[in-house]
Amino acid sequence: MGRTTGIIIAAAAAIVILAGVLLFMLGRGSETAVNDLDKEMSDLQLPSADGSTPPAPTPAAGGASLAGKSLVVVSWGGAYTKSQIEAYHKPFTAKTGAKITSEDYSGGVAEIKAMVLAKNVTWDVVDMELADAQRACDEGLLEKIDAGMLPAAPDGTPAVQDFIPNGITPCAVTTIVFSHIVAYDDTKFELKKPTKLADFFNVKDFPGKRGLRKTSPKINLEMALRADGVPAEKVYETLSTKEGVDRAFRKLDTIKNDVIWWTPGSQPPQLLADGQVTMTTAYNGRIFDAQIGEGKPFKIIWDGQLQELDVLSVVKGTKNLEAALQFIAFATDTQRLADQAQYIAYGPARRSSLPLVGTYSAKPEVDMKAHMPNAAENSANALQIDFLWWADHQEELNQRWNAWLAK
């Protein structure tokens, strides 16, 4: 009896130790996956504040006009929020005296809807994907923003012309262009390297598992059609017909059993690093972080990239409407947008900001211009996601997407 007990205790202790070691070995990667389940924006490691030059705050033009006011600005967390704190929040506080509290969320409109319905609005400004902002705007959950209050470009071009197409919508002002790209592990393809989007669907010549985003048909259907030879300007026209949708799903069928599905944006670089997949779709900022920040042998295929916009919006019924609008006008001016790009590889939404983009704050030898999704050499064959088309068709296609996934 005593001996059995001893053996059991020893075995149990071994299991506990093993579990401990395992958890330790799991390391940062999986922990991140846990922490930001559903988080879809970049999570770059930013340099500590002392190592980098903070953007020079503009001299207080109107004085501390908002002193004593405080704003709650909600964003995706991680390095993305940090880039906003450096580029927008700190200079705004310096200029106006308004205190900014930063909160994290994982996207979607659910929280905003609940808040507005309950008439208990605690968020003022929210960073959203354009498609979500459009839907929230439709449902009357966001304040309208007058484009006239946005500052003009330094050369005097009015904001409406300075912003990229769809950059200003009734309830939202765009800050960045982010991109869905295909990334691959360079070490897995020794002789022949994949160079174009179509190679993603070619499992014969470029063997290995693929990573695709699970959450919605958006991105996946467009990519399938682009890879199948549909030109960018015909994608949504094609998808508007049943045959076009069938064609996209048929293309996806060809790799359906080779796919590992990801949800949070931190997952694709992790899947590549773990050797789970050899090629995956991803947000370009995440791959930039792995490439440049961590020195991973990953490569980006810019061919056929899908660009999406990320915007700032004001929650309907906020008590700080005036300050919130001032913040948005400030954060989306030419210099602020260009400043943000030195912390994260997402492109500024103003044309006038692009030439002002400098080097990566953590590694001054890296020119950020080359990593912007909307830099000319990267966006040659790009497609802008049509958020209005998706607003119309998402119910139907979500349904079909979920059914396709389940079968």
Partner 1 sequence: MAAETLSEQYKRSGKSGRRAAFLLVLPLLAFLTITFFLPIFNMLNRSIDDPTIDRLLPRAAESLRAWNGKGRPPFGAIAALADDLARAQSLGTVGQIATRLNFERAGMRSLIMKTAREAKTFAPPYAQAFNAVDLQWSDPEVWGVIRHASATRTSSYYIAAMDQTRKADGTMVPRAEEEQVYILMLQRTLWVALLVTVLCFVLGYPLAYFISQQSDRTRNLLLILVLLPFWTSLLVRTTSWIALLQTNGIVNDALAFVGGDGARLELIHNMTGTLIAMTHILLPFMILPTYSVMLSVPPALTRAAVSLGATPWTAFWRVYFPMTLPGAAAGGLLVFILALGYYITPALVGGRTGQLISNMIQFHMQTSLNWGLAAALGGILLACVTVLYIIYARAIGLNRLRLG
Which helix (H) or strand (E) segment holds residue 236: the answer is helix 235-239
Shortest CB 113 distance to partner 1, Å? 7
Shortest CB 378 distance to partner 1, Å? 29
Shortest CB 278 distance to partner 1, Å? 11
Q: Which is nearer to partner 1, 28 or 365 (CB)?
A: 28
Q: What angle do CA 350, 41, 91 make, to 5 degrees?
A: 50
Shortest CB 18 distance to partner 1, Å? 10
Q: Which is nearer to partner 1, 33 or 329 (CB)?
A: 33
Q: Which is nearer to partner 1, 50 or 395 (CB)?
A: 395
Taking the C-alpha atoms of residue 287 and residue 297, their distance in angstroms, rounded to an integer, is 10
Q: Which is nearer to partner 1, 316 or 369 (CB)?
A: 316
Shortest CB 56 distance to partner 1, Å? 40
Shortest CB 166 distance to partner 1, Å? 15
Q: Which is nearer to partner 1, 37 or 370 (CB)?
A: 37
Q: Which is nearer to partner 1, 80 or 249 (CB)?
A: 249
Taking the C-alpha atoms of residue 243 and residue 41, their distance in angstroms, rounded to an integer, is 33
Q: Which is nearer to partner 1, 1 or 61 (CB)?
A: 1
Q: What angle do CA 62, 64, 67 make, to 5 degrees?
A: 145
Strand, helix or coil at 389? helix
Q: How far, in Å, are 92, 182, 228, 398 from residue 324 at the CA level?
A: 11, 36, 44, 34
Q: Is residue 267 a contact partner of residue 338, using CB atoms and an 8 Å limit?
A: no
Shortest CB 355 distance to partner 1, Å? 37
Q: Is residue 207 a contact partner of residue 184, using CB atoms and an 8 Å limit?
A: no
Q: Is residue 213 a contact partner of residue 261, using CB atoms and an 8 Å limit?
A: yes
Q: Which is nearer to partner 1, 12 or 370 (CB)?
A: 12
Q: Which is nearer to partner 1, 252 or 287 (CB)?
A: 252
Classify burial at 233, counting beta carbons within 10 Å of its beta carbon; exposed 0-12, middle 13-18, buried 19 or more. Answer: exposed
Amino acid occupying residue 32: T
Shortest CB 170 distance to partner 1, Å? 10
Shortest CB 370 distance to partner 1, Å? 32
Shortest CB 147 distance to partner 1, Å? 17
Q: Is residue 72 a contact partner of residue 98, using CB atoms and an 8 Å limit?
A: no
Which helix (H) or strand (E) segment holds residue 184: the answer is strand 172-185
Q: Which is nearer to partner 1, 375 or 389 (CB)?
A: 389
Other beta carbons less than 10 A from residue 34's beta carbon? 11
Taking the C-alpha atoms of residue 317 and residue 122, their distance in angstroms, rounded to an integer, is 9
Facing residues of 9 across strands? none
Taking the C-alpha atoms of residue 216 and residue 401, their distance in angstroms, rounded to an integer, is 7
Q: Which of 336, 323, 327, 321 has the alpha carbon at shortest distance from 66?
A: 323
Q: Which of 259, 258, 235 has the alpha carbon at shortest distance from 247?
A: 235
Site of interaction with partner 1 (CB under 8 A)? 1, 4-5, 8-9, 12, 15-16, 19, 22-23, 25-26, 30-31, 33-34, 37-38, 108-110, 113, 135, 137-140, 209, 214-216, 249, 256, 259-261, 263, 274-276, 388, 391-400, 402-407
